[in-house]
Every structure is written in C-alpha cells, then in structure tokens.
Structure 1
Amino acid sequence: MGDLEIRAAVADDVPEIVAMLADDPLGAQRESLDDLSPYLAALERLSGDPNQHLMVAVRERRVVGTLQLTVIPGLSRKGATRSVIEGVRIHADERGSGLGTQLIEWAIGESRRQDCQLVQLTSDVTRTDAHRFYERLGFTASHVGFKLPL
C-alpha cells in the first residue's frame, strides 16, 4: 500500500481533512466543504499552540487519515499530564488496512514522549464499530461524557 508518513497538517491538507470529517452520517450534518475559512482559522489557532497536534497520514501524496492530539497538564492524579485524541478519521479507501491502528499508536507514542500518564478519547454513542476498535487497542469505556452546545 505504499509508504506512510504521519506529519503535522498544513493548510493544503484542509480540504482532504474536511472531506474525511464529513464522510459519515454524523459528520455530514456538521461539516461543509463550501467554505473552508473556519477550518483554516482553526488550523492557524492549532498550529500556534504547542499542546495541539493536528496530524495527517499521507500515502502516495494523498491524505488518508487524520487525528488531533491535545496534551493537557493538570493537577488531578498527582499533577498528571493527559492527552486527548479527537477527530480520528480514516479515508474510506483505507478502512480495514491497519491505518487507524498506526495513527492511534502514533498518538500513544507521542503522549508517552510528552510524559502523559493517561490517554483518553471520546466517541459518539452511535459509532459502535469505533468503540470495538478502541477496545481492541486497550482503551476502556470508563466514563460517561456530557456536552453542552454553546
């Protein structure tokens, strides 16, 4: 399947990232390729924050996966630093190829390099395939999450 590169996202990657974010029933309701300016502004904010890592997986010059890793220093757990994995998406052509595992393993490795004691993530309750995937990688469904739209 060709060599894989995992690297920081750049502005030229945004259309492909947004297309992957929109490529499922939930994302199709939330994302739009019509106007990329909010995504480009978000990328600029992320790129200026050393605790944010918006990554892409590139194969044969094509973005085939993405995730965001956020490193959060804290006081709880004896001053532990944790990381949060968000926005994991794999291009439809690559699903089942092991790419998702490679991206999550990258995030776990980067979390260790940044001295995180815990890696956490959330997944929409309807994404049952994703839940099985994360459980296979050793994640435990240990908490109930809540959101408040603003």
Structure 2
Amino acid sequence: MSIETLTFRQANEEDLDAIVYMLSDDKIGSKRERYEHPLPGAYVSAFHAIDADPNIELIVACDGDTVVGVQQVTFTPHITYQGGWRATIEGVRTTSTERGKGLGSQLIRYAIQRAKERGCHIVQLTTDKQRPDALRFYERLGFTASHEGLKLHL
C-alpha cells in the first residue's frame, strides 16, 4: 500500500464484510462485534440507517479496490457555539496488515477536511481508555484531551 494511492469514498453495502472484519480484528472489538457469515442483520440495518442520513458519512479508505480503512463521521448541529456544527469521528479502524504505515493519519485528516467543508467549528472523538496508543496517536494529530467522557451502556 502507498499513502499516495489511497482513495476515500462513501461506503456501500458491499463494503460491510470488510468493515465488520476490521471492527472485530482487535482485542476490544473481538469482544463486541460478531464477524460471521452471513453477517448479522443488525449490521445491514445499521448500514441502511447510516446511508440514509445526510449528516453521517461512513468513509472507507481504499488501496485500489481493497478496503483498508474505515471511519464514521457524524455532523451534528448544536445550540452551543452560536448554533455551530461539530463533527464526531468514530469507529476508526485499519486492516491489521496496514497499521503503522500512515493510513490512520490519512483517515483522520480526511475527516477533518470533510468537517471543514461542512462548516464545522470543532472535530471531536473519543477513544477507549484501554487504547493508550490510540490516545497518543490522536494527540500527535493535534487533538487534546480537554473533556472527561462518560458512557452508560444500556
């Protein structure tokens, strides 16, 4: 893979297998994802909901015809910041064979570019506290740990 030949595009349903595989291909993801054939219908339903929403982009990075990375960017209007929009980056993954080659940085830069194009005033993301390398990665890209994030699993 060469960073110069990467392309980015909106994911399509045919990309779901590669996306779910990447999401499940690590220590944390393997405990919460179900990569099996056929894929559970919940993934297809989620894809259709994402695809139908003009404020969500499920973006894949491709090396030729091969999907090698994925991220979801959600654009949300807020009353705060004088009615400003923000972009939230989630589900950033690359294929395990391509990690450490700059692909993740390119994905995040692409998301930031999309946020600027959409007029967002801020880009935000979270990373699991069990991923200290990811936190350092995002900090190298200019993100700061400015807030404490909380979640309630239902």
- TM-score, normalised via structure 1 length: 0.97
Inter-partner Cα distance in structure 2 for 1:51 and 1:20: 23
Inter-partner Cα distance in structure 2 for 1:36 and 1:9: 18
Q: 2:44 aligns with which of 40, 50, 53?
A: 40
Inter-partner Cα distance in structure 2 for 1:62 and 1:36: 22
Q: Percent identity?
A: 47
Displacement over 3 Å in runs of 4+: none
- Structure 2: unaligned runs, 5 residues or longer: none
CA-atom RMSD, angstroms?
A: 0.9
Q: Deviations over 1:51-86 (max 9, x none)?
A: 000010111311100000000001001111101000
- Counterpart of 1:134 in structure 2 is 138
What is the aligned residue count? 150
SS at match of 2:28: helix
Q: Is the CA contact (8 Å cut-off) linking 1:52 and 1:71 kept in structure 2?
A: yes
- Counterpart of 1:62 in structure 2 is 66
Q: Is the CA contact (8 Å cut-off) linking 1:15 and 1:36 kept in structure 2?
A: no
Q: 2:16 aligns with which of 14, 17, 33?
A: 14
- Structure 1: unaligned runs, 5 residues or longer: none
Q: Which moved more, 1:1-10 or 1:110-119?
A: 1-10
- Residue 151 of structure 2 corresponds to residue 147 of structure 1: yes
Q: 1:109 aligns with which of 113, 132, 139?
A: 113
For 1:140, give the aligned amino acid: T
- Residue 101 of structure 2 corresponds to residue 89 of structure 1: no
Q: Deviations over 1:81-138 (max 9, x none)?
A: 1010000001111111111111100000000000000000000001011001000000
SS at match of 1:146: coil
- TM-score, normalised via structure 2 length: 0.94
